[in-house]
Structure 1
Amino acid sequence: MAKILILIGAHLCTAPRPQKEAETLANAGHDVTVRGFWFDPELVKRDRILFANKKWRFEPIVDFQPTHRLHNWKIRLQSRLAKEQFQQFGIFSPGLLGYGVKAMLKVARQACADLTIVHSEAGLWVGNQLLNEGFRVGVDFEDWFSEDLPPTARAARPIAQLKALESRLARECIYCLTTSHALAEALAEAYQAPKPTVIYNTFPWAEREQIDRQKRDRKNLKLSSLHWFSQTIGPGRGLETLFQALPHLHIPVEIHLRGNYPESARQWLEPLVTSEWRDRIFIHPTVPNAELLSRIAEHDIGLALEYTDIPSRNLTVTNKLFQYLQAGLAVIATDTAGQREILSQQPAIGRLIPSQNPVALAQALKDLLCTPERLKTTKANSLKVAQENLSWENQVEVILKTANFLLGSDPLSYSILIMQPSISNLFFSKLHQISALRTIAKKILRGYTLRQPFHSGMICLDAVEHSWAWTGSRRYETFDRELQDKLLSLSRNYEILIDIGSNIGTMSLSVLLRNPNIKAVCIDPNSRAIALLQNSIGLNQLTDRVDFIEAAVSAVDGVLTFDESGSVTGHVSPSGKQVNSVSFARLINEQLSRKCLVKIDVEGFEVNLLKHLSSLINLTNLCLIIELHPLGFNTIGNPNDCFKSLLDSGAIIEDIRDQRLHQVEDKKFTQVIAKWSNE
C-alpha cells in the first residue's frame, strides 16, 4: 500500500476527476488524501457530504471562508502583490498561479507521500519543486493551462513560465494523464515529451442506481427538453449559438440551463433571448454532485457547444458530454477536436455540428425533435455507449497500471527511469565524457537495465550499450521518429507487424503502444536485445500481442554467425558467435493468410533476403518497409540489387514520404516501402 497525495486548486465538489482518481486508488488499497482549498460555505457543505464515509480523505490546505478572512489576509496580499509585480515589471512569482501556492508546497513536503499528483496551475509549480527535491510526482493535465485563455487575457498571465512548468512535468512524470488523445498528442508534440496517458472524463456506470426518477426541472412533460450546464452561466460557453439558433427552430421545446447565475450574467443573457422564447428558458442553480445525474436524466438532449478558438478547450473533452451519456441523453456537440474524437468513434449518440453555427444547431435539433423514434433510439444508444465503452469502470485498470508501475520503482531506479538531459548532464553523462570515468562506468553499469518513457509507455535499454540514448539529449522516442510514425500510419491497414531485426523493439513498441489493434512478431539474434524487449513488452502489458523469435533471418533454417557489437548495428558476419537462423520465406508465408506489415533492418543482409520474394505465396497481403544500406556496408550491402529484386517481383516502390521511386543511390541509406497489387 502506498501513500498518495492528490493536490487540487479549489473545492472538492468542483473537481470530479480527482474524486474519481482518489476513489480508484483507494479501492486498490492505497492510502489516499486529497488536499484543496475552501472558499464558499455552501460548497464546503457539499464537500463534506462527498468525502463522508469514503476510504480516502479530504482536507483543506487553507480555509478562505469569510469567517477566516482576517486570518488569511497575508496569503491574499501575497497573491495581489504577485499580480501587480508581474503586470508592472514582468517578474514571476508562484503567487500568480493561485491562492496558497506556498502553503500547498508546505503540506506536500510534510505529507512525504510515495506519489504526489498535481491537478491545477498552482500544482504545476509545486510539482516542479517536488521533483527538484526527489519526490515522485504525477500530473493530470485536465486543462492545457498555458493555452486555456483568449488572446485578450494572455498578456496578464505568465504564459512562458506556465509552459516551462508544463514541459518539465510532461517530460519527467511517468504518471502523466490528460483528457483526450487530441490533447495528449498536442502536449507530446509541443514539449517533445512522451504522449500522456488518456483518461476520459467519464463517470461510473454504477452511479445510475442513484437516479431518483423525479421531474424537478421540467415544467411541461409533453414537450421535449434540452439541457446545458456549467459552473457559471455566461458568455464564451456556447450559449450565444443556442440563442441565435432559436429563431430558426419552430418546434416547441423546453430549454434548461444550470449554473451559477450572477446579476452580470442575467444582464448579458436577457437581451439575447427573443420574447417568444423567454417563457420556455429555465435557469437552475447548481446542485450537489449526488443530485446532478438525476437532474440531467430528466431531459432529452444534452448540449455541448464548446468553441474551437482556445486550444485547451478545443482539444479536451468536457465533463458534460460524458455526463449526458451517463444520463442517457442524445448529444449535440460542436466539432472541437476533442468532441470529434468521441463522436467519430460513436456517431450514434447524437450529432456533431460546426462550432458557432446557429443554423447547423437548429437543423440538428430538428433532426432529433421532429422524429420521436429517432430521438428515443439516439438516447438508447447513448446509454449503451456509456455502459459498454465510456464509463469510468472501463478506465480503472489504466490508472492503476500507470500508478503501480511508478510506485513499483525504488528511488534510485526512478531517478534514472525519468532522467532528462538537465539531470544527466550534471552527473551520469560525465561518466561517458571523461575517458577514465567512462571506463569505470562501463564496468559498474554493464548489464544494468534502464527504463525510459516511450510514447504512452516505457522502453528498456542497456545502460552501457545504449548510453547514447540517455547520457545526452537523444532519446529512443525521437530515434528515427519519422520511420516510427510512418510504421504507425501503415499499421492501421494491417493485422500483424513482423519486425525483422527488432533489436530492443523501438519500432515494434512504437506501433504497439499507439495502435491497439495490431499484433507483432519480433525477430533478432541478439539475446540481450531480445531480453530487453521482453522486459519492455511485460512492463507495458503487451505480452498477449507479441511473439518473440531469438534468431537471425536467412535463406533457410539453420545456423550462421552474428557480430553483436554496436547498440543497434549487430549484423550477420563471417566472424562472431553462432546463432540460429529461420527461413525468410517460411517466416512470412506462415503469416500471409492475413494482412502483414514487415519491417526489415538487417544491416546490409537484406540483399540476401529479398532474393527470395518469389517464394512468397500471397504478395498482395504484404507490405515491406526496408532500410537499404549503402554499397559494401558490412561487406554485403547492395541497394541496387535489392531494388532490382523488388522490381522483378512486381512491387510498387515508394519512399517513406509516399513518393514513387524508380531508382536508389548506392552510397546512401534509403528507407523504401514495397507493396503489390492484384492488377
Structure 2
Amino acid sequence: MQKKICIITQSHLCRNPRVLKEATTLATAGYDVHILTGIISEDLYRQDLLAIGSFANIKLQLISNVSASTLNSFTDKLLSKIGRVLVRNFKIENSLALGYGAMRYYNKAKAAKANLYICHQELATYIGTRLLNEGYKVAFDFEDWYSEDLLPEARAERPISLLQRIEAIALNKGSCCITTSNALANQLSKVYLCPQPKVIYNVFPSPGFIHNKIKKFSTPLKLFWFSQTIGPGRGLEQFINVLSTLKTGIELHLLGNITTDYREILTTLMPTQYGLYFHPLVDENQLAAKIAGFDIGLALELDTPPSRNYTITNKFFQYIQSGLPVIASETEGQDEAFDKFKPGFKLAQQPSAQQINELDRWLSNPVELQLAQQQAIEAAAFYNWENESKKLLQLVNNALGE
C-alpha cells in the first residue's frame, strides 16, 4: 500500500522551493504526498498548481486563503491580529500569532492520516508538536532558527518563548530533524541539548546549460542580487558603501519587489559613477537563466540575527548553479559553503581598507574572475539537488522504518 506523507507549511510552493523540491522528490519516489498550506494570492496559487500539475500523487489542500473576501478569510486575519496584539501588548504567547488558520491546521492534519508528517516553518512546527503528543510520526525541517530569526523591532509580536518551547520538543522528540547547514545544526544541538539535525542544503536541480566554457565578463561588470523583496537589513546598504571606494567599473542589478521609498534610499546611496538597475520578479523556472546573464552574484547577508548568521542564503547556491562567481558576506553559514571551493571573494562584515583594495584588484583581474567561475562550476557539481535529494529519501525511509 502506498504510504502517505503529509507536508505542513504556511507559504506558497512557488515561493518556497525547499518545500516544492521535497514534495516532488517524494512523489517521484512513489509516496502519496498531501500538502497542507495557506495562500495570500490567487496568482501565486495558480503558480503553485502549475508547479505540481504533472504529479497525480500530490494533493494540495488549502487551510487558509486570505486573498479571498470570505468569512473564513476575515476571521483568519482578525484572529492573527488578536494573537499578535496579545503578544505585543500583554505578553500572552499564543499560536494565533504564528500564522493564519492556526486553529484548523491541527484537525486537517489529523484527518490526513499520514504515515509521516513533515513540518516546515513556525506554525507547522507548533502543529507538529501537538501531533507528536498524539503519537504520530513527525519530522521537522528547520528552514531557519525560528526563535532567533527576526530583528528586534519585529520580535515584539513574536511568541518567542512559545517558539523556543516547540523547538525544544521538535528537536528532541521528532522522528527526524533536518536543517540547512552544519553551522545551524551544531548551534541548535548546543542550545537545545539535542541530537544534531541532519543537513540538507537549500540547493536546486542542475539547470543543464552550465558547462566549462570560459565566461566573457562584461565591461563594466554586472553585479547581481535578488530576493522576493528588496529591503533593509539584507546587507545592500553596507555593500553600496564599499562600492564608493572601488575604482573598477561596475553596475549593480537588483531583482525583486521594492517600495518607492527604499528605491530612493538606494539610489541616493549609490555612487554616481556606477549604474543601479532594478528588475521585476521572474517565475522560478526562469530565474537560473536570468542569473546567468550577469557576471557576479552577491550573496550578501548580515550576521544578525543569529538565524541569518548560521544559515546559508539560497542565493549562494543559485549563483554557482548558474555559473557565476560569488561575492559572499562572511557568516558562520556562508563560511561553510564558501570555504570548500572558494568560488569568488569572501567579504568581512566590516571590511578593512586593505580588504576593499583586495576586492578592487580581484574585480579588475580577468584571470582571477575566470578561475572563480571554474570553482563555482565545481561547487555546483557538489551542491545540487541531485545529491541532496538522495539524503532526503534516505532520511524519510529511516523515519518510516523502511
Q: Flag whether TM exceeds 0.5 (same fold).
A: yes
* Aligned counterpart for 2:261 among listed residues 244, 260, 264: 264
Q: Distance in 1 between matches of 2:394 and 2:107?
A: 29
Q: Distance in 2 between matches of 1:104 and 1:360?
A: 54
**Matching residue of 2:228:** 231
Give the match's secondary structure for 1:248. coil
The aligned length equals 395
Superposition deviation, residue 11 in structure 1: 1.0
**Matching residue of 1:64:** 66
Superposition deviation, residue 402 in structure 1: 1.1
1:339 is the counterpart of 2:341: no
Contact 2:115/2:400, CA 8 A, preserved across alignment: yes
**Matching residue of 2:214:** none
Q: Distance in 2 between matches of 1:264 and 1:117?
A: 39
Superposed CA RMSD in Å reads 2.0
Q: Distance in 2 between matches of 1:384 and 1:58?
A: 36
1:393 is the counterpart of 2:386: yes
- The CA deviation string for residues 20-42 of structure 1, in whole angstroms up to 9 with x for no partner, is 11122112111112222211233
Give the match's secondary structure for 1:68. coil
1:371 is the counterpart of 2:365: yes
- The CA deviation string for residues 606-636 of structure 1, in whole angstroms up to 9 with x for no partner, is xxxxxxxxxxxxxxxxxxxxxxxxxxxxxxx
Residues 293 and 358 of structure 1, relative CA distance in 2, 3 Å threshold: farther
Superposition deviation, residue 86 in structure 1: 2.2
Give the match's secondary structure for 2:186. helix
**Percentage of pairs with the same residue:** 38
**Matching residue of 1:295:** 290
Superposition deviation, residue 267 in structure 1: 3.6
Give the match's secondary structure for 1:208. coil
Give the match's secondary structure for 1:317. coil
Q: Distance in 2 between matches of 1:364 and 1:3?
A: 54
**Matching residue of 1:208:** 208
Query: How does 1:642-653 map onto structure 2 within 5 Å?
Result: none
Superposition deviation, residue 222 in structure 1: 4.1
* Aligned counterpart for 1:405 among listed residues 377, 395, 398: 398
Give the match's secondary structure for 2:244. helix
Give the match's secondary structure for 2:150. coil
Contact 2:94/2:159, CA 8 A, preserved across alignment: no
Query: How does 1:272-671 map onto structure 2 within 5 Å?
Result: 272-277=269-274, 280-347=275-342, 349-357=343-351, 359=353, 362-363=356-357, 365-387=359-381, 389-408=382-401
**Matching residue of 1:141:** 142
Superposition deviation, residue 221 in structure 1: 5.1
Q: Distance in 2 between matches of 1:200 and 1:33?
A: 23
Superposition deviation, residue 223 in structure 1: 3.0
Contact 1:241/1:357, CA 8 A, preserved across alignment: no
Give the match's secondary structure for 2:281. coil
Q: Distance in 2 between matches of 1:184 and 1:339?
A: 14
Q: Distance in 2 between matches of 1:23 and 1:359?
A: 47
Give the match's secondary structure for 2:63. strand
Give the match's secondary structure for 1:29. coil
Give the match's secondary structure for 1:276. coil
Gaps of 5+ in 1: 212-219, 410-679
Matched to 2:86, the amino acid is: Q
Give the match's secondary structure for 1:34. strand
Q: Distance in 1 between matches of 2:326 and 2:239?
A: 14
**Matching residue of 2:92:** 91
Superposition deviation, residue 145 in structure 1: 0.5
- The CA deviation string for residues 446-470 of structure 1, in whole angstroms up to 9 with x for no partner, is xxxxxxxxxxxxxxxxxxxxxxxxx
- The CA deviation string for residues 455-492 of structure 1, in whole angstroms up to 9 with x for no partner, is xxxxxxxxxxxxxxxxxxxxxxxxxxxxxxxxxxxxxx
**Matching residue of 1:78:** 79
**Matching residue of 1:579:** none
Matched to 1:46, the amino acid is: Q
Give the match's secondary structure for 1:118. strand
Gaps of 5+ in 2: 212-216
Contact 1:233/1:258, CA 8 A, preserved across alignment: yes
Contact 2:64/2:76, CA 8 A, preserved across alignment: no
Superposition deviation, residue 377 in structure 1: 2.0
**Matching residue of 1:550:** none
The structure with the larger Rg is 1
Return the structure number with greater relative CO, CA threshold 8 A, min gap 6: 2
Contact 2:219/2:249, CA 8 A, preserved across alignment: no
Superposition deviation, residue 365 in structure 1: 4.1
**Matching residue of 1:153:** 154
Q: Name segments (4+ residues, structure 1) moved above 6 Å.
A: none
Give the match's secondary structure for 1:281. strand
Q: Distance in 2 between matches of 1:262 and 1:85?
A: 29
Give the match's secondary structure for 2:252. strand
Contact 2:149/2:306, CA 8 A, preserved across alignment: yes
Contact 1:300/1:379, CA 8 A, preserved across alignment: no
Superposition deviation, residue 50 in structure 1: 1.5
Residues 57 and 373 of structure 1, relative CA distance in 2, 3 Å threshold: farther
Matched to 1:57, the amino acid is: K
Contact 1:242/1:361, CA 8 A, preserved across alignment: no
Give the match's secondary structure for 1:226. strand
Matched to 1:60, the amino acid is: L
Matched to 1:2, the amino acid is: K
Give the match's secondary structure for 1:117. strand
Contact 2:87/2:156, CA 8 A, preserved across alignment: no
Matched to 1:146, the amino acid is: S
Give the match's secondary structure for 2:317. helix
Residues 406 and 233 of structure 1, relative CA distance in 2, 3 Å threshold: same
- The CA deviation string for residues 487-545 of structure 1, in whole angstroms up to 9 with x for no partner, is xxxxxxxxxxxxxxxxxxxxxxxxxxxxxxxxxxxxxxxxxxxxxxxxxxxxxxxxxxx
Q: Distance in 1 between matches of 2:392 and 2:356?
A: 39
Superposition deviation, residue 288 in structure 1: 0.6
Contact 1:245/1:359, CA 8 A, preserved across alignment: no
Matched to 1:225, the amino acid is: K
Give the match's secondary structure for 1:107. helix
Superposition deviation, residue 90 in structure 1: 1.8
Superposition deviation, residue 275 in structure 1: 2.8
Superposition deviation, residue 60 in structure 1: 2.5
- The CA deviation string for residues 547-588 of structure 1, in whole angstroms up to 9 with x for no partner, is xxxxxxxxxxxxxxxxxxxxxxxxxxxxxxxxxxxxxxxxxx
Contact 1:178/1:199, CA 8 A, preserved across alignment: yes
